[in-house]
Amino acid sequence: MERTHRHPAELPPRKVPASTMLPDVRGALARHKKKACLVFLLAMGTAAAAAAWLPRTYRSEGKLLVRLGRENATLDTTVSPGQEPVVALPMSRENEINSLVEVLRSRATVEKVVDALDPDAILGLPPSSRESVSAPSRRERAVLCVQQRLSVVPVRRSTIIDIICEGPSPQWAHAVVDKLIELYQAEHIRLSRPAGSLEFFAQQTARLREELFSREAELRDLKSATGITSPDDQRKALVDRISLLQAELAEAAAGVPVSQAKLEQLHSQLNALPENQVASSTAGHGNQATDLMREELYRLQLSREEAAAEYTDHHPVMQQIEQQLAAAQEIVDRQQPTRTQTTTITNPLYEDTRMSLLEEESTLVSLQAKATALQTQLADARGDLEVFNQDELRIVQVERDVELARANYRAYASSVERARVDHALAVQQMSNISVVQSATLESRPIRPQKALLLVCGLLSGLLGALGVALAADSLDRRFYTPEDVERGLDLSVLGSVPHVREGKLKLSGNGRP
């Protein structure tokens, strides 16, 4: 049977069943071993070159301990007079640590480190190339270089700050970390100790002392002028006096209408009573007055008889005598020949009533005078209380000023002592920052890590070789085994001829294999 040979490129794409989708790793590596070896050698060569030629990086590490206590307390120079808490403490441990970390890695701190170490030394520029770059540019490049290589991180759940610097040499990294720790200790003291606090508090204390003396002298003079020595007792005495006067005035005012009513009653009783009353009466006594009038009548009759002998009836003398005689006769006619002798005395009830009336009038006058006097005294007492209240208010205000000045003076006097202690701490270079670990000088580089690079090169080479072999095998369209034919053409293989390379064929004499 004649076999037909087809070029591998002309074969249709293989149809791989779902159950045979897993690649033949061993066969793929065997078929594409050159490519896999090339990729493996490239990966290992790259790793070896990196381990041999990458620049060395060295690390220096320092640790700072932050103590939270009196050492990191700061004085507030903006304290208001009278405020006691002049010492400011951090809000929390975390805030304090974060603040220190920010200051450590701030640009200002890095610039001081660069200036102290020389930017040219940090950049490693040779003297010949320094003239091509300006000094500000070199300094800026040095600052950026240190910032990129410097790491300041707080250690979790502790008060330790870790300072790490990676540099091209152990001395370079050690110098940066050591200088940073040194400069920061002085900078921390400067930042935590406000300048001029001692002088400020001393001046304020002297000013408040003078103000206190002035206020105390004003209070003393005011008490001497007003006479108020014990305000509470004096106020109580004035209030008691006013209460007593009000009670007496009310009593007097209530007694006036009572007395007036009693006077009216006594007047009515006195008008109804007789002033005198008959003590005894005796009848049958001669009337001496009547007898005398009769004698006078007889004398006038005799005088008329004598005048009638000399004068006529119309003579004036006779007429005068007649008139006198008629008057005397009229009087005698009115007199009784006998009379009753009556003895009268003053009515005792009338006299008692009159005396009661006089006493009640005196009482009324006294009540009215007393009410008037009490009103005057009450007005004076109220005026005294008003003046006392005004004086007491002035004294209270001055006393409040004195107490405020005294409190301010005490607060600032205490602040002076604290400022003196704080100044002493600053002079002695004492702070809450302690160096737990100085800058280390490690001669062993941290990068590159040769073993790690070689292991990574080995793994990447193996994985790369395997990946290249599998990728190349998945793109290959040729059939290499009967199974490939059955899977690709969906046909049963009746027989197979082994593949023999062209150079290994042995020809017979007739030219056939």
Tens of pLDDT, residue by residue over 319-364, are 887 888 788 777 777 766 555 566 677 778 888 888 888 888 888 8
83 is a domain residue: no
Judging by DSSP bridges, how do beta strands 160-167 and 150-154 pair with one another? antiparallel
Max avg pLDDT among 273-282, 334-343, 381-390, 480-489: 381-390
Which backbone phi and psi does 156 adopt, to 5 degrees? -65, 140
Compute the distance between CA of residue 44 and CA of residue 42 in angstroms, rounded to an integer.
6
359 is a domain residue: no
112 is a domain residue: no
Q: What does the longest C-alpha to C-alpha distance in the chain come to?
A: 256
pLDDT greater at residue 420 or residue 107: 107
68 is a domain residue: no
Q: For residue 166, what are the β-bridge partners?
A: 59
477 is a domain residue: yes
Is residue 114's pLDDT more than 80?
Answer: yes
Final residue in a domain of this structure, among 346, 366, 397: 346
| Residue 478 domain boundaries | 20-52+448-504
Final residue in a domain of this structure, among 317, 346, 375: 346
Final residue in a domain of this structure, among 323, 346, 369: 346
Report whether 285 contacts 404 (CB < 8 A). Answer: no
Q: What are the structure tokens assigned to 81, written together?
A: 């007079």
Closest of 66, 67, 141, 153 to residue 110, by C-alpha:
141
What is the DSSP secondary structure assignment for residue 439, as one 8-state letter?
Answer: P
490 is a domain residue: yes
* pLDDT at position 235: 86
266 is a domain residue: no
Q: Which amino acid makes up residue 479?
A: F
Compute the distance between CA of residue 174 and CA of residue 142 in angstroms, rounded to an integer.
16
Find how far residue 253's CA is from the centre of its chain: 58
Work out the pLDDT band at 477, boundaries 50, 70, 90.
low
415 is a domain residue: no
How many folded domains does the chain comprise? Answer: 2
Closest of 163, 162, 192, 185 to residue 112, by C-alpha:
185
If you average pLDDT over residues 474-489, what whole number do you get?
A: 69
